[in-house]
């Protein structure tokens, strides 16, 4: 019975389709913000992909399952700004990635799962608001 349930779950997850929400350019390279909507039973999976100029392949540089919830992306000079809307009615916050270090993010993408930092690299500096939100989620049993 458990095996059937597992296969059914895998089938449901594999049926989801990634949707491109926005594409921005940085020095001829392409950065794509994508989402996989898990439907009523699972959360959103946010992915930010990087494609070098003239290449069709995409490399993951940032992923967030559930939270932090990605609201938009922008490029400002050499920074990728990942805009995070806040559920506690505060001002929106931003995660910044220095695109001059993009190779380090390709090698070791930032990966969140329900506000827990699962993977990072030495170039990523986790913003205080993410740490505070994680503490809030834990204190209120929201994870």
- pLDDT tens figures, 66-83: 889 899 999 999 999 999
- 140, with CB counted inside 10 A (0-12, 13-18, 19+), is exposed
CA atoms within 13 A of residue 25's CA, in its CB half-sphere: 4
Instruction: Dig out the tokens for 89 from the structure.
Output: 């009615």
Check: CB of residue 64 under 8 Å from CB of residue 70: yes
d(CA 126, CA 62): 12
d(CA 97, CA 90): 22
pLDDT at 86 over 50: yes
Per-residue pLDDT at 29: 97
Confidence band, pLDDT 50/70/90 cuts, at residue 85: confident
Neighbours of 95 (CB within 10 A): 23
What lies within 8 Å, CB to CB, of 17 at 6+ separation is 36
Prior bond to 4 cis, omega within 30?
Answer: no
Please report, for the chain, the start and end positions of each structural domain, with discontinuous segments joined by +: 18-139
pTM score of the predicted model: 0.81
């Amino acid at each position: 019975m458990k095996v059937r349930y597992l296969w059914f779950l895998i089938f449901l997850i594999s049926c989801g389709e990634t949707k491109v929400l926005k594409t921005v350019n940085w020095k001829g390279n392409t950065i794509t913000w994508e989402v996989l909507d898990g439907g009523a039973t699972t959360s959103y999976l946010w992915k930010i992909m990087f494609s070098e100029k003239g290449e069709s392949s995409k490399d993951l540089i940032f992923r967030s399952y559930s939270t932090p919830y990605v609201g938009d992306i922008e490029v400002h000079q050499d920074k990728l700004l990942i805009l995070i809307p806040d559920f506690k009615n505060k001002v929106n916050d931003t995660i910044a990635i220095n695109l001059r270090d993009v190779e380090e993010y390709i090698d070791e993408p930032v990966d969140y799962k329900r506000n827990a930092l699962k993977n990072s690299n030495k170039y990523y500096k986790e913003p205080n608001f993410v740490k505070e939100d994680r503490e809030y989620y834990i204190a209120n049993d929201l994870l």
